[in-house]
Structure formats: structure tokens, C-alpha cells
Chain A
């Protein structure tokens, strides 16, 4: 089976980017939208075909899913040993990611045709979307860690372009800048990680790196530094990059602000695909994490657990619906990280790995649905703030139903997809680390609570006075909602463990009802119930609650003041205590020294220039005096 055609999957969006980017301003907006959507549709079709071929026809040899290099070419030789390739790697997780990206991207393309209609820069929007799809697809298909880094930077830029899409709005510009710089800082860690990793192992290649019997893993951790081996350090640095993209604490601060971008962008980039790149990165390097650097994996697990709790708490206090969803995304990605963190390598040990990928898949579907639903709501009410909404269930029936499905899914109610994936993460956590297990169980309750708080507040509660009567969105916006809702329900029935596993060998899983599934369901139902009591009708309970927990509520509402801390560090420390002094030092000390040399030369010369007055009389006087003195000297003293 020749998979070379898979090269088209990322290249098609690239061509679209170049086409729309260069000639877009001459096209009619609708045409550029149509071209973009068609291209994406072909890409999606190819991905489905590839997935079918890979999973059911040729991928499995002797019961093990193989890693297939469909295409490879050398891009740059770094040294005799190291070279950077660009290529296409097919294995279970990359094929799964192809499905996720092209599906969500296609849905978002269709949706944007309606949502962005009439916006200025419609063509620019589609060009950037294509650029993003290209880089994201390139990222997941990367054959080596450096190609991944290349695409990693490219998704960062497309994310920047899309967040700052409304570039006349200062807050959007600031948000884009923040997102880029924070992730760039994380990428520095990624780069350092790659430097160390490639230095110790002598390769970038994923297949060599992650082969459990290969040279990279066989050589062990390398020399220890501060109690951890070199390998562990490098992988922790790599994870720093992943944490930046995936908005893990404390590098998450860009994600809520990134909601300044158009809502379809939030759905595609900041919910379903780009933000899970960090999870994908860890998953991609999983064997080396699990075997050579288990401490690194611990770090992943704890960071994930803490982020997920942290974000869930904040999500309960926010009023901007997109921000609630953003924190929810962060929390769910925390789950996926936990899944990886509590996993072992091979067979049933690798349950967490499989569960994490499973959750990534289901999350992409229901979170994209939530965002697109939120987009439909915002489109109808022209506001982001949930206090200005209420009673929308009659006015937006399709949005209401699909949004409800997504909320039930994320709350982990049996029968819906997230139940299966979340449950497996919890099972893995239960067997591995009880502390993380109980944290995640608590987070599951919080998740149900804040999602239904959002749901009840928007669709039930008191109907406020709307300026325009809200009405259901056009067909191009509702079709993606319906499609994603169906996916959210049924994605859970995919036998994931038979397709994706840490070592490529399928295994069996079953639901562990006690002590994992039942408590999680109960916690979820409790959360929903609480939300229903507080928000279904207009009550004063929320205010009382927030007053009761006054201090804590304030902290959470202000996102634990992390933004302020960052502002302090960047504005105060970097600007005022590093850059300004450096600039001052440069102008006054270094340049001052140079000017000082010039000044000394000048002063000396003007000091002695009096000697060369040009006045003959003065010269004569000096000459005669000198001559006389010499005569005196020779005649009377020396003579």
C-alpha cells in the first residue's frame, strides 16, 4: 500500500493559503470561502480514506500497528549525524489526529461561511485558517521532532494571526501578542529540550527515539544533574513547550485572552486542535518518557492534575461564556495530561495513554461543538456575557439541543462519549496514584457544575430584554452543530483500545464500575443538580454563595491574580528593570565611553591649540627665551 498521497492532506491547505493569501483581495468573499471549504473537504476525505486503509487494511502487521513513513525528504543537514527531514509518519495517533483536525477544521470552515459573513477581511480569515490547518497537519504527521518544532512555530503564528484578526481592536492585538510571547517562551524550553535530547541521542527521528529496543532508550538517562538524569531534564524541557501550547499551569494565561479571536477560531485552534498539541507531543515521545524518564512523566501528571483543578475552579466564577469554555478546555487538557502521567508502557499498563488519546478525540468533538454553539449564541445576542442572556431555549432550538448534548457529554453521563474516555483516565489514575484520582474526581464534579451553570444561565433563567430578537442561525452554522453533536454522542463507542495503544498492540478494556465509574457519575449528577438549583430560575443563591466565600471567590474570579503577576513581571521587571537600564546603559555608559574618548581628544586638542596661535611674536618670544635659556645653560651651568 502506497501512502504517498497522504502528502496531499497537508499540502492542499498550504496551496489554498498561498492562493487565497495572494489573490484573495481580488476574489469575492463567498468564492474564497467556497474554495477554502472545498479544499478542506478533499483533505478530510483523504484523511478518512487513509484512516480506513490504515486501521482496517494495511496498518496492522502481526497484530501490531506499524509506524509507516509515507514520505520523507531531507530539508537541511545540520551535521554529519543530524539532519532535518520533512516527511509524513503514519501511526495510530497521527492518523487519529488527522481525523480530528480535518473533521473539526471542515466543520469550522463550513460554520465560518455563515458566521463571518460580511466581516472585513473574510479572505484573510480563510487564508489564515488554511495556514493553520496546514501547519497543524504537518505537526501531527511529523517524522521527527524538529519537523514538529517547525510546524509548532507555524501553528503559533497562525494562532497569532487569527487571535489578532480584529486588528483594529487593541484588546485583540494585545491578546495575540500575549499568546505568541507566552508560547514562544515555552518554545524556548522545547528548543532547549530538543538541543539536549538530540545531543544525547544523536537523532531527531521519532522512530529511532521511541523504539523501546532502540539505541536512544537503550543508552539510558545519561549523567545526572541535580538528581535527575540528562534525559529527564531534556524531556521536562520538551514538556515545557507542550505545556505552553496546551495552556498548562503556569503557562496558561494566554488561553482565556485568546478568546478575543473570532469564535470559529476559538473552536478550531483553542479548543480542539492546537491546544492539544502538547498532549500529542508527550504522547508522541511516550515510550522514551515512560522508560527512560519516569520522573518526567510524574511531572506531566502532576502539572496536568493541578491545571485541571485550577482551571475548573476559575471556570465556576467567570461570566464571559467563551472564557468559561476556555478554562474548561484547560481543565480537560489537564485530564489528558493526567492520563499520560499515570500511564505505563505496553499492554494494559498503557491504559492511561490510550485513555488520554481517547479523551483527546472525544474532547475535540464536544468542545468544538460547545464553542460553535457559543458562537451561535453570541451571533444571536451580540454579547459574550451570560448575565445578558437567558431563556434562549425557545428562540434557538437547534443550538439549545446540541449545546445540551455537549454539556451532558462533558459532564460524563453514561452513554455519551466523554463518559467512556474520562472513565478510563480515572481508572488509570486510580491504579496509579490515589491523590490524582481524587483530585480528578472532584474536578469531574466541578466540570458538571460549571457547564450546567452556563447552560441554565443561558437557556433557562429569566429572559432579559434583547435589543434584537435572537433568532436561529443560518443552515451553514447549524449543520456543523448537528454533525458534531452526533459525533459527541457516538464517538464513545469507537473501540479505541483496539486501535490506539502505547505499543501498537490492541488490548481489551472494560468499565470499572466500582470504585471509579459510579462515583464519577454521582459526582457529575450532583454538580448538575447544584447548578440546576442555583441557576435554572433566577435566585439569590449565587450571590449568597459568592458572598459566603467572599475572599476565595474574589481570588478565583480574578484568576488567582496570575495575570497581574505576569504583567508585573513583564511590564515592571523586564521593561523597567532590564530593558530600560540596558538602553540607558548603552546610551550613557557604552556610548558615553565612546563619546568620552572623542571628548578627551577634543579637549586636549583645544587645550594645546593655544600653542599654535599663529602669532609670530609669540613664537618669537618663545624662541628667544628658549635660545637664551639654552645659552645660559651651556655657558654657565654645563660649562
Chain B
């Protein structure tokens, strides 16, 4: 319980972060930016978890566990994603998603 800061403030921040992330994910063509957007989405979720845990069930730590888990997964995901992106860059000399369409065929 943090005095003077109600739960809604956290939720508003995380919602904004979430939608910024979604917006970036959908509109950006640059793979790095897309990756960053995904990180934003994940982090907005993290904030939610932590905030709900703190405000609603202060005795439990489930929210924290999830958050730590997500951070770990996000880290490895970023590592894999960046590796892929580097390979794509080597192949196409670009990291624009539209160029990677050829992978379909």
C-alpha cells in the first residue's frame, strides 16, 4: 500500500504502456522497434501484476513471481529475436518486416 497513490494510477500507466506497445507492434516496420513494442507490452503487464499483488493481496507473492518469470522469458526472447534479426539483416541488408515476406514461400 503506497500512501497517496491509488491503484488506478498504476493501471492508467500500464494501460498507456500497453496500447503504446500494441500501436508500435502493429504500425512499425522495423523489427527492432517491434521487439521494443513487445517489451513495452510485457512490461505493462508486469506493472499490473506487481500493482495488483501489492494492493489486493499484500500477503502473497504470486504477482512478483510471475513478473520475475516474465522478465526472464522476455530476456531470452529478446536474445533469440535479436539473433534472428541479425541473421535477417545479414541476409537482406535490412530489417524491414515487409522484406521478409519472401520467407513465406
Contact = CB atoms under 8 A, between A and B. Distances in A.
B7 to A, nearest CB: 20
Interface in B1-32: 22, 25-28
B97 A624 contact: no
A189 to B, nearest CB: 65
B104 interface: yes
Contacts of B101: 614-615
A620 B97 CA distance: 14
A426 B87 CA distance: 110
Contacts of B103: 614
A540 interface: no
Contacts of B25: 617, 620
Interface in B64-102: 97, 101
A635 to B, nearest CB: 15
Contacts of A616: 97
B24 to A, nearest CB: 10
A621 interface: yes
Q: Which of A614, A615, A616, A617 has the most CB of B within 10 A?
A: A617
Contacts of B26: 617, 620-621, 624
A620 B25 CA distance: 8
B34 A617 contact: yes
Contacts of A614: 101, 103-104
A296 B72 CA distance: 107
Interface residues of B, number: 10
Nearest to A627: B22
B94 to A, nearest CB: 16
B45 to A, nearest CB: 15
Interface string A585-615: 0000000000000000000000000000011
A609 to B, nearest CB: 11
Given A615-B97, A617-B97, A624 B22 contact: yes
Contacts of B22: 620, 624
Contacts of A621: 26
A636 B97 CA distance: 36
A621 B27 CA distance: 9
Contacts of A617: 25-28, 34, 97
Interface string A550-581: 00000000000000000000000000000000
Given A614-B103, A621-B26, 10 more contacts: A614-B101, A614-B104, A615-B101, A617-B26, A617-B27, A617-B28, A617-B34, A620-B22, A620-B25, A624-B22
